[in-house]
Amino acid sequence: MEVRIAENAGFCFGVKRAMKMAWDELENKEDDDIYSLGPLIHNKQAVDKYKEKGLVEIDSLDKIPNDSKLIIRSHGVGKNVYTDSESKNMDIIDTTCPFVKKIHDIVKEFSSKGYRIIVIGNANHPEIIGINGWCDNEAIVINSEEEIDNNLFDPCDKYCVVSQTTANLEFFDKIVNMLKEKINNLTVKNTICFATKERQLSAIDLANEVDCMVVIGGKHSSNTQKLVNICKGIVPTFSIETKEELDKDILDGFKIAGVTAGASTPDWIIDEVIKYLKEI
């Protein structure tokens, strides 16, 4: 099988940076445990590798002793996590992606100026939960056109809209245009990360020149699943986490496969898939 790889695929700048910071800490670790609040990234295989190295995943600060070392992952967290860890005298290794940090700053600034915050994205995603934590968890989170109708916007209020970094640009524009019809005083901050855009555009380019696409990445990785949906609209697309999920029989009819991967997919997993496909 001929295999073509998307120009931009796999670890983005923010994830690469976060994973390196965390790995460096683990390499220099002495006896005390190092904790991460939630999985470091949405990739089980990579997370397992870090756990083997000694990273302990927790879901609440209450579960760890005072003075512990805590890694904040690239998705970022709300203000309360910083306050709580300070009161527990924790040593913080903050791997929040600078692009996410920028959204925190915007939200903090505009909410302190009396703006109501609107976030376009998935309310359950850790990045959105973190962003919401910079405006007292009072943001209006919108993830569909219907949700605009379900929210009442006060014509006398001023609003600031930001987006989840992994949002689709067309969807963002559509929602913003709908919001403009309902809100007079709307400040728009397009905070979509350009690593996401690059991966989406490369995936579209590649999908248009191959017979099928293989998208590698976590089933819970929002940016991976967006790549899957984009590719599905163009060619038959297979969403996998590792090469073990590829079915040789299904791939039999295709001559050229395109490969792309979400921003939290490590290179070694991509290489394994490429090697496997080439052997078919």
C-alpha 17, offset from chain centre: 14
Identify which range of 62-70, 133-141, 149-157, 190-198 contacts ligand SF4 by CB under 6 A. 190-198
By CB under 6 A, residue 74 contacts ligand SF4 = yes
CB 46 within 8 A of CB 263: no
Identify which range of 7-15, 57-65, 84-92, 247-255 contacts ligand SF4 by CB under 6 A. 7-15
Q: Smallest distance, Å, CB 135 to ligand SF4?
A: 19
Annotation says 209 is catalytic? no
By CB under 6 A, residue 99 contacts ligand SF4 = yes
By CB under 6 A, residue 100 contacts ligand SF4 = yes
By CB under 6 A, residue 128 contacts ligand SF4 = no
Enter the tokens of residue 208.
């248009």
Q: Smallest distance, Å, CB 103 to ligand SF4?
A: 9
By CB under 6 A, residue 132 contacts ligand SF4 = no
Sign for the pseudo-dihedral over CA of 164, 225, 175, 122:
negative
Residues numbered 12 to 31 that lie near ligand SF4 (CB under 6 A) are 12-15
- In which residue are the tokens 């924790």 written? 90
* 43, 130, 183, 199, 271 from 264: Cα distances, Å: 6, 18, 36, 12, 14
Q: Smallest distance, Å, CB 272 to ligand SF4?
A: 22
C-alpha 255, offset from chain centre: 32
By CB under 6 A, residue 139 contacts ligand SF4 = no
Q: Which of 138, 145, 150 is nearest to 111 (CA)?
A: 138
**What is the 8-class DSSP label of residue 42?**
S
Task: Note the residues at the interface with ligand SF4 (CB under 6 A).
Answer: 12-15, 74, 97, 99-100, 165, 193, 195-196, 263
